[in-house]
Amino acid sequence: MALFAVPAIIAVALAVVPLLVKVLDRNAGWPLAITFIGTAAYVIKHADPILHGHEAVWSVTWIKGLLASPDGGANDVEFVFRMDALSLFFTLLALLIGAVVFIYSTRYLHRGTKIMSFYLLMTAFMLAVLLLVLADDVMLLFIGWELVSLASFFLIARSGSGGEAGSTRTLILTFTGGLLLLAAIGMMVATTGTTRLSEIIASPAWEGDPVRIGLLAVLIALAGFSKAAQIPFHFWLPEAMAADTPVSAFLHAAAVVKAGIYLLMRFSGLFQDVMLWHLMLIIVGMTTAIMAAIFAMQKTDLKKLTAYSTVSQLGWIVTTIGVGTPFALAAALVHTASHALFKSSLFMLAGVIDHQTGTRDIRRLGSIWRRMPFTFVAAVIAAASMAAVPPTFGFVSKEGMLEAFEGAPLPHAGVIALLVAAGVGALATFLYSARYVTGAFIDGPRDMSKVKEASPLLLIPAALPGVLSLPVVFFMGRFDHSIDSVVASTGVGTAETHLKLWHGLTVPLYISVAVLVLGVVGVAYRHRISRVMEGRRLGIATGSQIVSRGAEMATNWGRRVGRMANSQSPNRHVLWIFALIIGLAVAGFMAPGRLAGLASLDPRIENIDRPTDLIALALIALPVLGIISTRSRLASIILLGIVGVGVSWMMLTLGAPDVALTNLLVEFCVVVIMMMVLRHQPRLYLREGENRTKFATALAVIIGIITFFGVFFLMGRHDKPEIAKWYLDNTPEISGANNVVAVILVEFRAFDTLGELTVLGMAGIVIAAIIGSIPRSPLPGYGPGSTAELFRAEGSTRFPDVHKVPELAPFYSKYLRSAHLNSIPGRMTLYPVLPFVGIVSLVTFWRGHQAPGGGFLAALVAAGGLFLWYVSQPRARKLGSDEMGYRFIGVGVIVALVTGLIGYYKGSFLAPIHGEILGQHVSSSLIFDLGVYFAVVGLIIVVINQLGGKDRPGTDPTKKPGPQQTPLGIAPSASNRGKSSRSSQARRKLGEAFTQPDRKPSPVEAHVPNEHADSKVAVMVPGSNIVLNPSAVDEERRRAAEVHRQEREAAKNRSSKKPETSDKTSEKEDNQ
């Protein structure tokens, strides 16, 4: 059997869903249903060997040698599909019920109403279920488990606002179960050293360790409860009723809830001797069965009633699994099949009633059994099976569970209590089953004379599963061997099943007769029971309220924790790091035997300290002192870059040229990026208070001393670890390369690098998202009529014709012309340098396997060229389109993933393929390195476009416009507004060029605050990457102010007849 074909067929169906929906609209369900039926037929055709104890297995290595095995070897992580009898049972259940639901959907759904999303998600749902039940690797099992949760979330959420709260709570609860399963997987892998599920269950490592296997049993049980909707996770399932009826039918009968049942059955063999497992499942299962049955009796919505009945029936199944005997597992399997039949039918029939009458609330329905006789008969049969009325399939399965309860691993009193509880639950089941029928078809105040029977294409698929519950009992004996095979595959033994209606006078039969008698009495008094039950709260709060309150508490707690780092001040962030360092130091000092431990330390390695270390020490220490003493942001960034050079020098002297070059190039990029940010920051840091300075100094000294002693006592005292020696000795032979660091990154640990590469790409997207969330406005000099617009019109290297704007000629000729032309030498130098940088980048990329280099280093070299291009430009501009960086990142990640898939040619994901081209050794890891190159270059492009463009952050566009102000800090006089004098036109033109009316002047504009008027630090010319001496700007400010004062006095003389208040108003505005 080609097992891979089963999920592959569904995956292909998922890929063609868009085409099918586009051509067939809602009728796309037909070819999809045929595909499911065909896949089920293919499985049934190859089922005979599986039912006789054989297994179908398909595997491909994912990660070679990742896990250490208990015998000292290494185990691979694999994609493994395995079909045994248990997987076969749940595969057929999902495919056949899914096919019926898809056929039903072709008439239930309205044309053009989210048809695409429905079929896409439902087919993905089917694929996720198959991945889950066929997985023989716990990692693949977890992926299928989480995909089922996601698919159910999206299917519920697509129903609109009514499904938002329910889908969110569903996601929270099922993801909680996913975390519990993940913890269990971690424990299993750590204990057994393998990820193969079959090997984990059969491993002898669990023997003699009751604590560990008991903890594992608790984790698996809770994970199963989350999907099977057991207490305390029970309430998500009824909330899923907001989804369309086909979704509810598939979700309740064959998908999510059966995933939890499958997990519990799969591990029942491992926990057969764990009493805690049996007690948890029996107590939680039966409590859920009774509680949910009572809830179902209270509901008036047919879908919610059916949903709570599902929770109750799942409680029965979980209890039976908890009994743990082979016969109990067989009974649980039979009831799982029975439940899938009658429950899928009851959900779809509720949809039929809603479709034909416009409501599914029994308070708004009437007597429709005459108007919809076929629907009524189908509902009676399905509900009778759920109520365990003979001779339905549900009766046989319920009798089997009651018989299994007699053999529960409990004291005699415990068995009696379990049977009594089961009797109560069975009676409640009968009553809510009767409520479904009587409420939907018999009772009700409305006139239903205009209601018609549903069309055959809608009714037949809805009625078919439930109706089958009747005839199947007459030939169910043929499935005895198949059920025994399924039970045997769980590892609990052979059940020796005998399915038949009559087993003689037994305790289960007595319970069933009592339930039927009391149930008939209850139906006679149903109206009185309804009045007592409806609207009555059985607890302090509902499960939904508890989750909502819990989520609110968690959010509030998260907010409090987030406040510790929710600050723009670096002090807040480093405070916790410093506190941790001090705490570790105090703990180490207070530890007993600390002095003896220091005395027993290994001696430091000889010749590890060299005179050249003093150079690195000077390159690090002296700039740090400068950073402490300077108030200039620009100077501190430059000094910080020198510190990075010192660290790179230290790495180089320690024999790590690859790491040193990487660090050096990263420092270069970081300095340029920080310069970009500096454009929007004040030139100087604020002065700190004396007490704050003293505290910071003391803290820095303490942290420095602790770090020094930590490094001195813990570093430089051990030789290379064994893994490092192995890499050094074996890398040239295995890979044909001499650069061990590069080979580790792109071959031995390529999977780690792929993860880091993905994180790097996400970092670029996050940078754009964060910066994009800040209000933006053009930098000074960018806007209609601005100098930047004029330069763009004339070309980046040409100065605009001053005859076009004669009023700006003095300012242009004095500042902007020189600033613009000063960038020409940089651009002319860039023309020959940039190709050289590109060649160096390519050479660095190519030589990565034999010498310091590789994709990351080469990308950093290319980034240097991009930064040189940026700083040489006469104005702030983006590098290509806004999407260019994202495209580079996407291409890089895709190339890396494709390289990993190529590795399957050698048997595992990302396995390198070595060869020779023209006598030169090459490896497929070179393609992987190319992906790294593209992603890093894309990140740099995103940074340049986000931080180096013409937009500046921090301006609120909703701020009301204020008085217009020129870059020289002078507001136009009210008396001169509208005049066309030469000086006023110049001022207005300057205002348009460098300011906007809705913001204050930026610190990076030519306007320099008065307190820094004597500063000699250059400031940036608006609209340019060129800087000017601020003293020249101050001189221009004073000259313009004098001209403005003279014009204002002249204006006063001309308007001497105007009221005095006018001059006062003008004066007030001038002072603003």
Question: Above pLDDT 70, what percent of the chain?
Answer: 81
Element (H, E) at 75: strand 74-83
Single residue among 926, 948, 970 that ends a domain in this structure: 948
Classify 827 in phi/psi space as left (phi over 0), alpha (psi -120 to 50) or beta.
alpha
Residue 1059 — φ and ψ, nearest 5°?
-60, 155
Q: How many CA atoms lie within 13 A of 578 on its CB side?
A: 15
Please say if the pLDDT value at position 166 is more than 70. Answer: yes
How does residue 1015 score in pLDDT terms, banded at 50, 70 and 90? very low
If pLDDT is split at 50, 70 and 90, which confidence band does 768 have? Answer: confident
How do beta strands 776-778 and 914-917 pair?
unpaired
Interval 137-162 mean pLDDT: 87
Q: How do residues 24-52 score in pLDDT, each as one tens digit?
A: 988 999 999 999 999 999 999 999 999 98
From residue 563, give the alpha-carbon distance in Å to each of 231, 559, 573. 35, 6, 10
901 and 987 within one domain: no
Q: How far apart are CA 135 and CA 146, in angstroms?
A: 13
Residue 63 · residue 909 · CB < 8 Å: yes
Dump pLDDT digits (tens) for 103-121.
Answer: 999 988 888 778 898 999 9
Task: Say which residue the tokens 């997985």 belong to.
Answer: 135
Look at residue 70 in the predicted model and tell me its pLDDT.
65
* pLDDT for residue 258 is more than 90: no
Contact of 1020 with 952, CB cutoff 8 Å: no
Per-residue pLDDT at 71:
65
Q: Which of 651, 666, 687 is the last residue of a domain?
A: 687
pLDDT in tens, 467-487: 999 998 888 888 888 999 999
The reply to whether 254 and 373 lie within a common domain is yes
Contacts of 379-382 with C-beta under 8 Å, sequence gap 24+, read 379/346, 379/349, 379/436, 379/437, 379/440, 379/441, 379/466, 380/437, 381/466, 381/467, 381/469, 381/470, 382/341, 382/342, 382/345, 382/346, 382/349, 382/463, 382/465, 382/466, 382/467, 382/469
Q: Does any domain span residue 348? A: yes
Flag whether 546 is in a domain. no
8-state DSSP, 749: T
**425-434, 439-448, 1009-1018: the lowest-pLDDT one:** 1009-1018
Does residue 966 fall inside a structural domain? yes
Record the tokens describing residue 920, joined without a space.
Answer: 């030169």
Mean pLDDT value of segment 316-325: 93
pLDDT tens digits along 628-659: 888 888 899 999 999 999 999 888 888 888 88
Judge if 1022 and 902 occupy the same domain. Answer: no
Whether residues 450 and 382 share a domain: the answer is yes
> Would 700 be classed as within a structural domain?
no
| Count of domains forming the chain | 4
Do 992 and 937 belong together in one domain? Answer: no
Which is nearest to 138 in space by CA: 88, 98, 92, 191? 191
If one counts every other C-beta atom within 10 angstroms of the C-beta of residue 615, the result is 14
Q: Are residues 787 and 923 in the same domain?
A: no
pLDDT digits (tens, 9 = 90+) for 971-1014: 343 434 444 444 444 444 444 433 333 444 433 333 333 333 33
Residue 953 banded pLDDT, cuts 50, 70, 90: low
Mean pLDDT of the chain: 80
pLDDT at 783 over 60: no
Is there a single domain that holds both residue 983 and residue 860? no
What is the average pLDDT across 229-256? 80
Looking at the structure, do residues 797 and 674 belong to the same domain, yes or no?
no
Phi, psi (5° rounding) for residue 632?
-85, 130
Structural domain ending residue among the three candidates 504, 533, 562? 533
Query: Highest mean pLDDT: which of 491-495, 601-605, 959-963?
Result: 491-495
pLDDT-derived band at 1071 (thresholds 50, 70, 90) equals very low
Q: How far apart (Å, rounded) are the C-alpha atoms in residues 290 and 521?
A: 19
- Tell me the DSSP string of 853-887: --HHHHHHHHHHHHHHHHHHSSS---SS-TTHHHH
* Same domain flag for 1025 and 1062: yes
Tell me whether residue 215 is in a domain: yes
* Confidence band of 1041 (pLDDT split at 50, 70, 90): low
Q: In this structure, is residue 583 part of a structural domain?
A: no
Quote the pLDDT of residue 969. 34
- Shared domain for 308 and 437, answered yes or no, is yes
Residue 777: count of CB within 10 angstroms of its CB: 20
Q: Name beta bridge partners: 908.
A: 61
Tell me the mean pLDDT in the region 908-926: 80
For residue 648, what are the CA distances in angstroms to 612, 668, 687, 704? Answer: 13, 11, 32, 20
Specify whether 913 is located in the same domain as 1032.
no
CA distance 835 to 467: 77
Q: List the domain range (segments joined by +) for residue 767.
A: 758-778+824-872+878-948
Q: Flag whether 753 is in a domain.
A: no
Alpha-carbon torsion (271, 273, 276, 280), positive or negative? positive
User: Would you call 917 helix, strand, or coil by DSSP?
Assistant: strand
**Residue 489 belongs to some domain of the structure:** yes
Q: Which pLDDT score, from 0 to 100, does residue 171 have?
A: 85
Q: Is the pLDDT of residue 133 over 90?
A: yes
Which residues contact residue 811 at a Cβ distance below 8 angstroms, ignoring those fewer than 6 apart? 986, 990, 1036
pLDDT tens across 321-377, in order? 999 899 999 999 999 999 999 999 999 999 999 888 888 888 888 888 888 999 999
* Residue 267: per-residue pLDDT: 94
Give the rounded percent of residues in the chain with a pLDDT score beyond 90: 32
Query: Which residue would you say has higher pLDDT here, 1001 or 382?
Result: 382
925 in Cβ contact with 748 (< 8 Å): no
- Indicate whether 858 and 796 sit together in one domain: no
**Nearest Cα to Cα of residue 380 among 352, 351, 345:** 345
